[in-house]
Amino acid sequence: MKSLIVYSSQTKNTKKLAEAIYESLEGEKDIFPVDEAPSTEGYDLTAVGFWLMAGKPDPKISEYLAKKVIKDNSLFLFATHGAAAGSNHVKNAIDHAIGLKNDVKIKGVFTCQGEVNPKVLEKVKQKPEPPVWIGDAAHAVGHPNEEDLSALRKMITEL
Ligand SMILES: Cc1cc2nc3c(=O)[nH]c(=O)nc-3n(C[C@H](O)[C@H](O)[C@H](O)COP(=O)(O)O)c2cc1C
């Protein structure tokens, strides 16, 4: 089994998940930031990780999913976000990611909160209509934490 891990990460939250997946996967494996990632051709499993931006997967990963994930590939999606885990905001973003790739098999999905850059948080709070996820962002401090990472490792070893 040959696996590819591709991730996008500005402040390293999603990168931490990517590295935990890399450590937990058996067999041949490669890991790339999205800017350097090849197409998924020749891989049995691809894990694609993104951070949420404006309620969707960040633009680089949206483009990667649309253009470089080939048919017949098995996909594991992972993400970090300021919004609460399990919220509709997160579910909609995951549905959006899956919608970009209707033709592949989804092997699993893992998401958790990721600490939001405080400068971004201040700016966003000052908008006339702050987005829904902002209320949950205080609880994202310190995430992903060891508990998040061990839940992810468990999921990967059970794939
Ligand atoms: C410009 C910007 C927009 C964001 N938009 C959202 C959003 O719509 N929903 C959300 O839950 N989190 C949002 N976040 C929070 C990030 O998704 C979260 O902090 C994530 O863990 C960052 O991942 P990274 O460290 O891998 O870059 C936003 C962050 C930034 C910087």
Q: How far, in Å, is the centroid of ligand 1 from the Cα of 53?
A: 5
pLDDT of 14: 99
pLDDT of 73: 85
pTM higher than 0.85: yes
Domain ranges of the chain: 2-157
The yes-or-no verdict on residue 103 having pLDDT over 90 is no
pLDDT band at 72 (very low <50, low <70, confident <90, very high): confident
Query: How far is the CA of 28 from the CAs of 2, 24, 40, 153, in angstroms?
Result: 5, 12, 14, 17
The yes-or-no verdict on residue 102 having pLDDT over 90 is no
Mean pLDDT of 53-82: 95
CB 28 within 8 A of CB 1: yes
What is the C-alpha separation between 152 and 137, in angstroms, rounded? 21
Q: How far, in Å, is the centroid of ligand 1 from the Cα of 114?
A: 7
Q: How far, in Å, is the centroid of ligand 1 from the Cα of 71?
A: 28
**Do the bridges between strand 56-57 and strand 45-53 make them parallel or antiparallel, or are there none, so unpaired?**
antiparallel
Atom nearest to 53 CA in ligand 1: 5
pLDDT band at 98 (very low <50, low <70, confident <90, very high): very high
- Nearest protein Cα to ligand 1, atom 15: 82
- Would you list the DSSP string of 111-159? EEE-PPPHHHHHHHHTSSS--GGGGGGGGGTT-S-HHHHHHHHHHHHT-
Q: How far, in Å, is the centroid of ligand 1 from the Cα of 70?
A: 27
Query: What mean pLDDT is reported for the chain?
Result: 96
Please give the backbone phi and psi of residue 109, each rounded to the nearest 5 degrees, phi first.
-140, 135
pLDDT in tens, 39-65: 999 999 999 999 999 999 999 999 999
pLDDT of 101: 87
pLDDT of 16: 98
What is the C-alpha separation between 59 and 41, in angstroms, rounded? 22
Identify the CATH assignment for 2-157 out of 3.90.1150.10, 1.10.1200.10, 1.10.287.1080, 3.40.50.360. Answer: 3.40.50.360
Pocket perturbation via mutation, ligand 1, pick of 6, 34, 50, 53 by most ligand atoms within 8 A of CB: 53
Percent of the chain with pLDDT over 70: 100
pLDDT of 71: 82
